[in-house]
Homo-oligomer: A and B are copies of this chain.
Amino acid sequence: MPRLPASYAVWMGHIPTPAEAQAKYAVDEVRHVDELAAVLAELAAPCLHLTPLLFPNPCHACSGLPMPPVMFEGIENFTLETQALYPVLSECRVFKSPLELRIMRYACRAASEAHVEVMRAVQPGVWEFQGESLYLHTLYSRGGCRGAHYTPIFASGPNAAILHYGHAGAPNSRQMRAGELLLVDAGAEYYRYAADITCTFPTTGSFTPDQALVYNAVLAANRGVIAAMKPGVRWPDMQLLAERTILSALLAGGLLRGEVEAMVEARLGAVFMPHGLGHFLGLDTHDVGGYLPGHPERPAAAGLARLRTARVLEEGMVITVEPGCYFSRALLEPAFGDEQLGRFLVEERVRQFMDFGGVRIEDDVVVTADGAESMCDVPRSIEEVEAVMAGAPWPPPA
């Protein structure tokens, strides 16, 4: 820990002693940074293992961004070993301990309650940012979470097709209208652990037939994947399962023609769901460990290449399950004219959905010994969503 001058207390409050810090963080030993070189020299170890992963970090292994080196005075006197620790610590973070799961369940509960509160308050005329504001207020004042771990996405109508809507350049600034869906992708941060939940629901409180068609397609994918998850299952297979489920529903709804397996083969799934099915969740929203040595490499196929991991599921992993179905001009217009993709599209019917936006349904799921369990608790079926929006209690009375 840094050695702070006494005057620091005037500005920042009580300066903890090393003993206080040691008790608080339950670690073996705490020293001031200016002692580090001397203390480490005494140990006379052949080398010093260092990794930037010791500090909170975005998902550098997945993003390929460089990580800043660890520094302290006197570090040049040590033999540094900077490669060994990264994969080991990443692997540790892939598997959550019971205590970690307890924190993550709490974060999911706090986020779930905030989602329900938003569902109750939304109606045509409300601005997207007012939904975001109510979400954050509920999360903080009731759940004690000062942050949401990432910028909440409150995407109404066509905006729901913009995957990272809500950023500073598109800051949830649209007024909701009747007849639209609102896609809310909003998480929580509690003791640095993340929740990451998406709900999609109609601004008016009841689904139109077209909204129900797309919503149920995505819900079936979400529920189907969670039901199929267990140790030994390959994650890319879950993405393909989600695609098949959604494409089958669009076929039944008259938006597509042809054979579902041929669509999957042609990667039509990536036109409607251009992102990965889900990612590890933990200290980072997009947590580390997705592509470590000794595990499957990133797939090359469209859509699958977006996956943040291609691993085989194991007990204790926490991963999001977030299938989606979007109507994105930037993807559909080229697809209409594409030889491989265009033949599956019933263009006239699909064009009716061009301002539809999209649906995403995201759960935070822990892999158990023989299956998987969602840690989220939000209305999911159309009946549940419509009931809560009409004022019914959640969770429903036993």
Residues of B within 8 A of A331 (CB): 10
A165 contacts across to B, CB distance below 8 A: 12-13
Q: Among A76-84, A156-164, A180-188, A291-299, which stretch is in contact with chain B?
A: A156-164
Contact between chains at B146 and A140 (CB < 8 Å): no
Q: Give Cα distance in the complex from A130 to B140, angstroms.
A: 7
Task: Select from chain B the residue with minimum beta-carbon distance to A328.
Answer: B10
Quick one: which of A13, A136, A137 has the most chain B CB within 10 A?
Answer: A13
In the complex, A9 Cα to B169 Cα: how many Å? Answer: 12
Q: State which size class the interface on A falls in.
A: 20 to 34
Alpha-carbon distance A159/B136, docked complex (angstroms): 25
Q: Which residues of A in the span 136-160 have a Cβ within 8 Å of any Cβ on B?
A: 136-137, 140-141, 144, 146, 159
Interface pair B328/A12, CB less than 8 Å apart:
no
What are 17 of the A-B contact pairs (CB < 8 Å)?
A6-B330, A9-B162, A9-B328, A10-B162, A10-B330, A11-B162, A11-B163, A12-B162, A12-B165, A12-B169, A132-B140, A133-B136, A133-B140, A134-B141, A136-B137, A137-B137, A137-B141
Which A positions have Cβ atoms within 8 angstroms of B?
6-7, 9-13, 129-130, 132-134, 136-137, 140-141, 144, 146, 159, 162-165, 167, 169-171, 274, 328, 330-331
Q: A6-B330, A10-B163 are known; give 18 further A-B pairs, CB within 8 A.
A: A9-B328, A9-B330, A10-B328, A11-B163, A12-B162, A12-B164, A12-B169, A12-B170, A13-B159, A13-B165, A129-B140, A129-B141, A129-B146, A133-B141, A134-B137, A136-B136, A136-B137, A137-B137
